[in-house]
Amino acid sequence: MTTLPADAMPFAKLMGVEVLESSKDGVKGRLLVREDLCTAGGILHGGAIMAFADSLGAIAGFLALPEGAAGTTTLESKTNFLGGAKAGTHVIGTTTPVHRGRRTSVWQTKIETEDGKPVALVIQTQMALGG
């Protein structure tokens, strides 16, 4: 299994994204729900949820790049918000492939609370750059 640290991406590092597992077959990560990532009610902000999922999807897309490709970029992302996560807890994101083609890949990220309650489901398309 290849491990790619989230701190290779400055914004993911700023957010505190922690990669637990990573390979061309998927990525699992964790994020501490800090107060500065929350809405006024102490619940993880939707933008933070989307950025967390995008970071994990970008890592997965990068690890699954075809030979000769230089990098990846997000073409599209869709988020279904399913529940909340309170400040002081962690959310876990699990990214798995839906489609891996020569120029694009599609990834699904399930974000859950530590006790397994759904927070969001994100589907994103990554495009291979260069090559």
Q: Give pLDDT tens digits for 63-115.
A: 999 888 888 999 999 999 999 999 999 999 999 999 999 899 999 999 999 99
From residue 108, alpha-carbon distances to 8, 67, 124 in Å are 21, 23, 7
CATH number of domain containing 72:
3.10.129.10
Q: What range does the domain containing 114 cover?
A: 6-129
43 has which bridge partners? 86
Structural domain total, the chain: 1
Spell 38-54 as b/e; 16+ CB within 10 A means b: beeeebbeeebbbbbbb
Is residue 47 a part of any domain in this protein? yes
Q: What is the pLDDT of residues 21-73, one digit of tens each?
A: 999 899 999 999 999 999 989 999 999 999 999 999 999 999 999 888 888 99
Is residue 48 a part of any domain in this protein? yes
* Phi–psi pair at 58, nearest 5 degrees: -65, -40
Is residue 125 a part of any domain in this protein? yes
Is residue 32 a part of any domain in this protein? yes
pLDDT-based confidence at residue 3 (cuts at 50, 70, 90): very low
User: Quick one: tokens of 124?
Assistant: 């994103």
Is residue 84 a part of any domain in this protein? yes
**The residue count for the chain:** 131
- Report the SS3 class of residue 102: coil
Map tokens 């909340």 to a residue: 84
Is residue 111 a part of any domain in this protein? yes
Is residue 1 a part of any domain in this protein? no
